[in-house]
Structure 1
Amino acid sequence: MGPTFLCELGLFFLCTLLCSGHTQDAVLTVEPSSTIFIGETVSFKCDMKEGEHTDWEYKIIMDGRELLNSNTNKGLRLKVASTVQSGKYSCSAHRKSSQNTKNSNTVSVTVKAGKPRATLTPGSTIIPVGGSVTLTCSVGSSAGWKYEWFRRDQNTDVQIRTDDQQNRVIRVSQRGIYHCRGRRGNPDYYTDKSNDVTIEKTFSNKVVVKGRPSWSQIFSGETISLTCEVQEGGETTEWEYRWRGPNQTTQWTHNNYWIFNVSESSSGDYMCKSRRRDDSYSSTEWSEAFNLSVSTGKPRATLTPGSTIIPVGGSVTLTCSVGSSAGWKYEWFRRDPNTDVQIRTDDQQNRVIRVSEGGIYSCRGRRGNPDYYTDKSNDVTIEKTFSNKVVVKGRPSWPQIFSGETISLTCEVQEGGETTEWEYRWRGPNQTTQWTHNNYWIFNVSESSSGDYMCKSRRRDDSYSSTEWSEAFNLSASTVPRTGNSSFPALLIVGLICGLLLILLLLLCRFIQSKGETISL
């Protein structure tokens, strides 16, 4: 029984193979893709790989369910209406003349809801001078698409590529707004149009940024005007302009200037580009960078006098400056006990002025439009010299003064000074006094008092004008006084000698007494 059973089992498997055919002898193809969208028409084709035999009957099967049964047409066209049509598809064929059956491979078909949208990706959005750029159109990860291209500008809106080539990547040298869409299947199924991409064409004209004012140093709070100039024939064309600065890019404007107040954050590079007003899709390249460096803090002017004393009948120069920066005009101020006035405000530079009046002077810088002012400078006191002469006289007027004596120095104003109320100032060895109403200086003489003494005067109602210093009064202090009697030293010497002789005589007497001798005098 054993051998008989094995023989029968072998015959059974042989019959099964003859009746059913070999697995995957048939090939199922799906067009346009195994990933399709609702609204597309999908084609299934069952190929027996045996030429054009017509005695086959076909079945298209989805997830085990027959969609097409006993049809001599080996293809099936199906319009997709729902995502439920996703599934595993296969086909089988039965040959009537031989009772042979073949089964195909299984193809997974995915149906996606919604209409797909093409995506346009530019290699660059700027066409260089004499060059071109590439544009790429795609529809996700699905396959089988051919692409149509469109371009529009102010005057046209045209389809530029519609042939049967794939056209996934094209190269363009015309400016405008581009978009694309995908197309596949039979009948044609279209995606939604892609995103718009603006392609600009570069003119050969050069543009240059110029700053006004053109100072190398700009301070926070000043106003600057940047101008975009188109060169190489740009004067005959109406242009629009666009600016790029630190963290900012402006919109297109008819103005070729950009005016703004400078702050610390304004430091950086500024560039501009231009385009014709009648062609918004062509422009120049960006200009070279204009670098703006902003100095923080408000500058302060510095006033430097040539001298602080105006000589009789003369004048002195005053110089105002603001560091190493340029473009300043200077305003000058003067005050005295009665006035506080601005003395020079015209549009000249006025960096150096000459003055012949005493007072306290200051200045400040001004530049730009609108005016930008520095802080005021340091104050400088300028004194004017009167023509009156002053003389120092000493009391007592002895030619020799001894340490410990008291002297009184008097400052006398000559040449009409008697009718004016004066103040006085003294200068002695290692000392200069403050201004005082007293015209005398009384002090006890010491060895350190030796030296030159001078004085000067000024009117009490004008503290910024004075006389020159007087000529020096020389004081020589003696340390050992001498009496007027010349016999005093001689008497002193005689007294000393007599005293010495008396002492010697007394010593001699005591010596003789000690020897027991009597000396009669």
Structure 2
Amino acid sequence: MGLSLLRVLSLFLLNTLLSCGLTEYAELTFEPNSTTLYSGEHVDLTCHMREANVSEWYYEFKWNDKPLVPITPSNVLRIPELTPDRNGDYQCIAHHNRSEESKQSNRATLSVSAHRPRATVRASRTSIPVGGSLTLTCSVEESAGWSYDWFTRSPDAEETAIATNPVHNSLSISQGGSYWCRGRRTHSDFFSEKSHVHHIDRTLSNRSFVVLQHNWTQIFSGETISVRCEIQGGGDTHGEYWCKARADWYSSTEWSEAFQLRKASGCGPELVHM
């Protein structure tokens, strides 16, 4: 009985010590909160003490087991202008200022890419339907921690910033045009490369019709005919077999129904079918 009780007490004491120790370990984090960063941007290393008082400790930051800077009372270290030679493992060690107690953090691996990333824009559909809208989505490859800027361009090539979204990476639009986006590190002035330009068309409610220029019921070989595209609701343009009309560079009607010509054999007449 005495031996069993001793074992139980020993296990209880061991578990208590382990539990208390885990809550007091230091923890190293990156901001931006991404393991992949890019040449030219900065990173903040923070040594968290969890339940301990931050001001009671001095901090040592290491990179690949080498000291980065002298021991400092600040638990945050900024590395400006990252370069690919800063790849590797980072760690912090906290030293208590009134005792010999030290706490060692986890090892965090940082990868620095030599190339600035490019944003990508995608559309939920190919064109804006009559009276509707579509959603554009912006993303930056292989990393997190971005907000997004949106731009549009008019037919005369004038660029306009239209939105900055710090939370979501999507934009709802109801007008046709040329759109692109750019990623921006949250709380930073570091930008990704701009995405490609995405051209969006808007479908108008007007309907198109192909009609004969002359009200003939039949034509003969060798004759010339003209067809015309009529737009219900105003406007017109020239068309052949089927047509659609544009109100501007990014707004058009749907395609008309097909206008079919069936050529008669020999020298007989050609029949026109609507």
TM-score class, shorter-chain normalisation, is 0.7 to 0.9
Q: Which of residues 361, 378, 388 in structure 1 aligns to 2:179? A: 361
Task: Tell me the equivalent position of 1:314.
Answer: 132
Query: Residue 406 and residue 240 in structure 1: after superposition, are their counterparts in 2 closer, same or farther (change >3 A)?
Result: same
Task: Tell me the equivalent position of 2:92.
Answer: 272
Are 2:71 and 1:252 aligned? Answer: yes
Query: Residue 208 and residue 306 in structure 1: after superposition, are their counterparts in 2 closer, same or farther (change >3 A)?
Result: closer
What's the CA shift for 1:392?
A: 0.6
Are 2:34 and 1:218 aligned? Answer: no
Q: Distance in 2 between matches of 1:295 and 1:402?
A: 71
Task: Provide the aligned C-alpha RMSD in A.
Answer: 2.7
Q: Distance in 1 between matches of 2:58 and 2:121?
A: 47
Q: Which of residues 198, 209, 212 in structure 2 aligns to 1:394? A: 212
Task: Tell me the equivalent position of 1:63.
Answer: none
Q: Aligned pair count?
A: 243
On the 8 A contact 1:401/1:476 being kept in 2, the answer is: no
Query: Residue 304 and residue 403 in structure 1: after superposition, are their counterparts in 2 closer, same or farther (change >3 A)?
Result: farther
Q: Which runs of 5+ in 2 are unaligned?
A: 1-23, 270-274
What's the CA shift for 1:369?
A: 2.8
Q: Which runs of 5+ in 1 are unaligned?
A: 1-204, 425-438, 442-452, 484-521
Task: Tell me the equivalent position of 2:148.
Answer: 330
Q: Which amino acid aligns with 1:291?
A: T
On the 8 A contact 2:54/2:75 being kept in 1, the answer is: no
On the 8 A contact 2:166/2:186 being kept in 1, the answer is: no
Percent of residue pairs identical:
40
Task: Tell me the equivalent position of 1:457.
Answer: 245
Are 2:258 and 1:472 aligned? Answer: yes
TM-score by length of 2: 0.77
Q: Which amino acid aligns with 1:330?
A: Y
After superposition, give the CA deviation of every residue in 1:53-73 in whole Å (9 maximum; x if it has no partner).
xxxxxxxxxxxxxxxxxxxxx
What's the CA shift for 1:284?
A: 1.7
**SS at the partner of 1:265?**
helix
Query: Residue 263 and residue 415 in structure 1: after superposition, are their counterparts in 2 closer, same or farther (change >3 A)?
Result: same
Query: Residue 292 and residue 211 in structure 1: after superposition, are their counterparts in 2 closer, same or farther (change >3 A)?
Result: same
Q: Distance in 2 between matches of 1:235 and 1:479?
A: 98
Are 2:60 and 1:242 aligned? Answer: yes
Q: Which amino acid aligns with 1:471?
A: E
What's the CA shift for 1:326?
A: 2.0
**SS at the partner of 2:143?**
coil
On the 8 A contact 1:206/1:284 being kept in 2, the answer is: no
Q: Which amino acid aligns with 1:457?
A: A
TM-score by length of 1: 0.43
After superposition, give the CA deviation of every residue in 1:342-373 in whole Å (9 maximum; x if it has no partner).
11124332x22211111111111112332321
Structure number with greater CO (CA < 8 Å, separation at least 6) is 2
Task: Tell me the equivalent position of 1:21.
Answer: none
What's the CA shift for 1:401?
A: 6.3
Q: Distance in 2 between matches of 1:310 and 1:236?
A: 55
Q: Which has the larger radius of gyration?
A: 1
Are 2:117 and 1:299 aligned? Answer: yes
Query: Residue 414 and residue 230 in structure 1: after superposition, are their counterparts in 2 closer, same or farther (change >3 A)?
Result: closer
Query: Residue 236 and residue 337 in structure 1: after superposition, are their counterparts in 2 closer, same or farther (change >3 A)?
Result: closer
What's the CA shift for 1:479?
A: 4.2
Q: Which amino acid aligns with 1:302?
A: T
**SS at the partner of 1:478?**
coil
Q: Distance in 2 between matches of 1:206 and 1:440?
A: 76
Q: Distance in 1 between matches of 2:132 and 2:120?
A: 24
Q: Distance in 2 between matches of 1:236 and 1:411?
A: 76
